[in-house]
Amino acid sequence: MKKKCPKCGEVKYKKDFTKNRNRKHGMGSFCKKCHNFSNTKRRNTETGYLKMRYDSLNGEQRKKRNGSKCYFTFKEFCDAFEKHKSMYGMKSAWGPGADNLEEHLPMTMIQNGNGRIGSRGGREKGAGRIASNVSPDRLDSNRDYTLQNIIFIRIDENERKRNTTYNDCKIQMRLHEERFIKMKAI
């Protein structure tokens, strides 16, 4: 079966179209290439990028992997990001604080891809995520996603602290204080 894509005007096979079970013929309106291209274009806007990140917080894969839940709406998520920008600009919250912004790393919102078929999000196979992109993270990994427990940091910072818990940090801070501030030996 063939169909014409209304976006690019090409006649293509059924396998070249997205799937849509709600339609009579089971195909989406646009071919995969046009669909991926428009998704990439939308995700390169601030709202589109934040929607993609919000959806990943609510995804079934995340719930299966670590059981965490998200307790805020997309609007609340966007409002939290606006508050972050008013304090930090487009810099990561991970650092010495809003008084020393020059030490915070800059963040980006770039969806890498240009409508490639057969790849997630239209990016090349094997292409990693952009390390400087915004990554919403939990301050305490043992708690769910709430407005009080969320910060906006870079992907590379999030991956670096992934396996460090809040309690681990408290232990490390206590040991540092004992050894270097109070000057106690082992």
Find the CATH number of the domain harbouring 132: 3.30.40
Q: Looking at the structure, tell me whether residues 141 and 166 fall in a common domain.
A: yes
Residue 121 lies in a domain: no
The pLDDT score that the predictor gives to residue 122 is: 47
Report d(CA 49, CA 52) in Å as an integer. Answer: 5
| pLDDT confidence of residue 78 | 96
Measure CA 41 to chain center: 16
Q: What is the pLDDT of residues 18-37, one digit of tens each?
A: 888 888 888 888 999 898 88
The two beta strands, 150-154 and 134-138, are antiparallel
pTM: 0.74
| Same domain flag for 28 and 68 | no
Residues 13 and 76 in one domain: no
Residue 118 lies in a domain: no
pLDDT reported for residue 116: 53
Q: How far is CA 21 from the centre of its chain?
A: 28
Residues 48, 19 share a domain: no
Looking at the structure, do residues 6 and 63 belong to the same domain, yes or no?
no
| Average pLDDT of the residues in 73-100 | 91
90 & 176 share domain? yes
Domain that holds residue 79: 44-113+127-181
Q: Is residue 92 part of a domain?
A: yes
The confidence score (pLDDT) of residue 139 equals 82
Residues 60 and 145 reside in one and the same domain: yes
- Regarding whether 53 and 29 lie in a shared domain, the answer is no
The reply to whether 9 and 90 lie within a common domain is: no
- The verdict on 23 and 48 lying in the same domain is no
In terms of Cβ atoms closer than 10 Å to its own Cβ (0-12, 13-18, 19+), residue 112 is middle
Question: Could you tell me if residue 122 is inside a domain?
Answer: no
49 and 29 together in one domain:
no
More confident residue, 152 or 126: 152
Phi, psi of 140 (to 5 degrees): -115, 110
**Total structural domains within the chain:** 2
Tens of pLDDT, residue by residue over 2-23, are 889 999 999 999 899 888 888 8
Q: Which residue has the tokens 């939990």?
A: 138
Q: Are residues 79 and 149 in the same domain?
A: yes
